[in-house]
Amino acid sequence: MTIPDNIKPYLDRSVAVLGYGVSGRGLVALLRACGIWYEVYDEYNGEARHSEFDEGRAKQHGLVLYSPGFSKDHRWLVNARNAGCRVLGELDFASLFWSGAFVAITGTNGKTTTAEFLSFAMKRIGMKAVAVGNVGYPVSRLHEIGNYGATTAVCEVSSFQSEAIEYLRPQALLWTNFGEDHLDRYDSMKDYFAAKWKLVERLARPRFIVGRSVAEYAVEFGYTLPSFCQIVDVDEQNDLIPVGSCFNSYPQRENYLIIRAFWQQEGLSLKALEEAACQFQPPRHRLGLVQTIGETEFWNDSKATNFASSLAALKSFDRPILWIGGGKSKGGDVADFARSVGETISKGYLIGESAGELAANFMQNGVDHEVFTELEDAVAAAYKDAKGRAIVLLSPGFSSFDLFSSYSERGIRFEKAVLSLMKQSHARKSKECAVTSEKSQ
């Protein structure tokens, strides 16, 4: 592979890779493919060669690459800058090696579904496309697919990735929405917005589509949307969403309409997009029906790791909701969130680090609730309380990292708990049928 001129001056010494998770491993694969010497540092992953990166270590390197989990003021990055190192994030560095088209997808919610559906729709009409970035397949792995020029990278970009980009030049930017999130990392909503706005500043051509909330926050924070920006308003275009597709539910409507606007600007067949929408199945743990036991429906929305996504899910139902929520806080106004949730649900079943704070707010507002140490106990209690056509909804509104390794593990645990209840229900019915049969003989 050809090494970009931008980084050649820093390769007289080994490259430092900070973090050895998905992004770090992608960086290692890319560096190996380029024949570049590197050292890996990770404080928690024992597979990394080093667990500490002080200024002395930093001075041994010219180029330092880091995973999205490192905030700009992380002590390791501070050490790198103090040592005079060139510091780049995984996405920014990897983009230097990509010559194909690049569509950036960002937003507080809906990024993964939007990226995966756009890639899916492109492939259905014969285009070469791949969903990358925050979806779990890092941009640093793109070199493995080859045929760069003919492939479109549809990249989910988080604020953690966009906040310090210098080289990435997306040909299009789709910004789904904006709401309260990551306030444990940013000092304010304005700072969080600014981290995403970096993508606007790096656009390579006039392809910029946003949801209504993005436009409203841009005005509030003093940003001027470029003249070519298209604003999508879901209330005005609801009739354009294909009937029977997964995009008919509340959180997904805006995602489809933003993709539709992009698709139309690119001159692609709208009929083909509608057909793709009817075939597409969204990724797991995003407001999906798990099972129906009797009249009770169990819905898994474990990916709802912030207030906006959880509140959006709650708006999707017109039946009594037994809400399972809570987890590790990412900052924000928990009291306001609890008040909004309390106005929507029949009862709350609270788990994780934030359970106590949520419970205190529910108590103050007269909202029925219980606190649980295990997710499975919360699921069982909600099912026991369910009456008639009720909804048991896992849509936590908080990060999973207090009790689980990821939102995926949390969602899987929820699904397994529901499956266990279903088996118990079937066993109970079989026993009742057997008793009835004996009595009738």
CATH classification of the domain holding 102: 3.40.1190.10
State mean pLDDT over 47-52. 86
Query: Residue 174 and residue 115: Cα distance in Å, rounded?
Result: 9
Closest CA to 173 of 234, 221, 223, 214: 214
**Would residue 432 count as lying in a domain?**
no
**Would residue 441 count as lying in a domain?**
no
Instruction: Please identify, among 28, 59, 92, the residue that sits at the C-terminal boundary of a domain.
Output: 92
**How many independent structural domains does the chain possess?**
3
pLDDT of 20 reads 94
Dump pLDDT digits (tens) for 16-41: 999 999 999 999 999 999 999 999 99
Say if residue 437's pLDDT is above 70.
no
187 in the same domain as 234: yes
198 in the same domain as 110: yes
15 in the same domain as 106: no
Say if residue 435's pLDDT is above 70.
no
pLDDT of 260 reads 97
Query: Residue 161 and residue 69: Cα distance in Å, rounded?
Result: 9
Question: From edge to edge, which strands make up the β-sheet containing 172-175?
Answer: 128-133, 151-156, 101-106, 172-175, 208-211, 230-232
> Which one-letter amino acid corresponds to residue 71?
S
Q: How confident is the model at residue 403 (pLDDT cuts 50, 70, 90)?
A: very high
Mean residue pLDDT across the chain = 92
Assess contact for 158 and 139: CB atoms under 8 A: no
229 in the same domain as 151: yes
138 in the same domain as 68: no
**Would residue 248 count as lying in a domain?**
yes
Check which CATH number belongs to the domain holding 81 and give it.
Answer: 3.40.50.720
Q: What are phi and psi of 280, to 5 degrees?
A: -75, 135
The CA-CA-CA angle for residues 58, 63, 64, to 5°, reads: 65
pLDDT of 246 reads 84
**Would residue 437 count as lying in a domain?**
no
pLDDT of 147 reads 63
Q: Which residues are annotated as a binding site for ATP?
A: 107-113
Dump pLDDT digits (tens) for 266-306: 999 999 999 999 999 887 888 888 999 999 999 999 999 98
Q: How confident is the model at residue 320 (pLDDT cuts 50, 70, 90)?
A: very high
Instruction: Please identify, among 248, 279, 310, the residue that sits at the C-terminal boundary of a domain.
Output: 279
Query: Residue 305 and residue 302: Cα distance in Å, rounded?
Result: 7
**Would residue 418 count as lying in a domain?**
yes
Dump pLDDT digits (tens) for 167-192: 999 999 999 999 887 778 888 999 99
Q: Enter the pTM of the model.
A: 0.82
**Would residue 347 count as lying in a domain?**
yes
102 in the same domain as 82: no
Range of the domain at 229: 98-279
404 in the same domain as 305: yes
State mean pLDDT over 210-214. 95
Dump pLDDT digits (tens) for 352-367: 999 999 999 999 999 9
Check which CATH number belongs to the domain holding 336 and give it.
Answer: 3.90.190.20
292 in the same domain as 237: no
Instruction: Please identify, among 244, 279, 314, the residue that sits at the C-terminal boundary of a domain.
Output: 279
318 in the same domain as 180: no
**Would residue 398 count as lying in a domain?**
yes
195 in the same domain as 253: yes
426 versus 296: which is more confidently predicted?
Answer: 296
**Would residue 53 count as lying in a domain?**
yes
190 in the same domain as 135: yes
Dump pLDDT digits (tens) for 102-114: 999 999 888 889 9
380 in the same domain as 317: yes
Q: Which residues are annotated as a binding site?
A: 107-113
